[in-house]
Structure 1
Amino acid sequence: MIIEEKSIYISDIDNNECFEKDGSREIYKKALFFDLEHYIYKKPICIGVFGCAYYDDASKELKLTQYMIENKSDAAAILSLAKDYFYKAKNKLNKEYIVTFSGNNDFTIINYLFEKNNINVKVNEYFKSIDLQREYEKIVGKVIGLKNLEKIFNIARESELIGGATLAKTFYKVIKDDEYFNRMPDEKKTKIMTYNGQDVISLFYMLVSWSTYAHKLDQ
């Protein structure tokens, strides 16, 4: 399994610009930012990439963690790591919220796989859920994709876009062929990890600048 950890220094946050919930504009200090890449065939088969981040107020850093499977045996191992990550986030780091974009799909997948592997965690009940796609819909009355919302928030992606079908096909091959990952070009592995990481990081930047751009959403 590939395990990557990355810290991104955050130079300035204006609480007046941040997303407000439960009477607080410091939700970002108590939140996880979460995104999965996965493979489904009729039912969830595996998590391909687990991506999650949190803001460390002491160091002023966004700390990103990613797990990517290399073969079928990693499918269970990645769930164990995800469980440990969530336990630590809640019980040691005191995180209360989980921020996603159209997160119901990811919650359905990880909750199904957790239950199948006897892990007693329902992520969207373990944390309070904030779905930025739904928050946008409350303002505008229609659904938007993450990449289009990034444009509204002036977020320039560092990664190339990857279609869901392409990711599913890749993880299908990883599950079916233990040697496929070793044959996969390093550039492709990096591209997938960067794509997932960008999705997670974008959630953070949108949350901490929500009030700045929200008035533009219905224009």
Structure 2
Amino acid sequence: MDWDREARTGLAEAVYCAGKTPAQVDAIALAALNEGRRLLLTRLVPERRAALSPHVREALDYDAISATAILGDPAAARPGSVAVVTGGLADMPAATEATRTLAFHGATATLVADVGVAGLWRLMARLEEIRRADVVIAVAGMEGALFSVLAGLVAAPVVALPVSCGTGVSAGGRLALGAALGSCAPGLVAVNIDNGFGAAQAALRILALAHPPQ
């Protein structure tokens, strides 16, 4: 484990559990417990979590929707805020991965869910709340129109998080990713499909610049 990552980058080490055996995840978590370290685990699907040792399972704060787990005490609160805005409820796995990653690092996150462009009045009703955030993470699948709409309405940096929900040409999230990359809204940036963790990490770096340690 790269325990020095936080000292170098300001972002703590995390464990990507996909592809790791339960025994490997167990060993990493036990090492962190023994050393009194905090740890974020991502892509820990329910069946893999169920195969962990009872001692590790009981020590984890687990969320099945995002497939994330947090080991250790809450982080100290950091200044600044992030709005995580989703087009629909189908976007919640990636959005929740982002909010959980932010919470692990002590960042305040407001979740504004189900305000996609198919019902634009829903977004407009929450717009002033969104505008108060230092960073906005826009989460959308289908055609990904939310990215351009939000980036044209708020002054804060907008991180586009395309998700894989959708059918036909939208399947797999590539259409939403293309919409983010091809957006005419200036200043919009994008992370990979379903990468809620990466979107949160980008937001944390922006917050660190906006609110440097005193």
TM-score, normalisation: structure 1: 0.29
Q: Looking at both structures, which has the greater relative contact order when contacts are Cα pairs under 8 Å and sequence separation is at least 6?
A: 1
TM-score (norm 2): 0.30
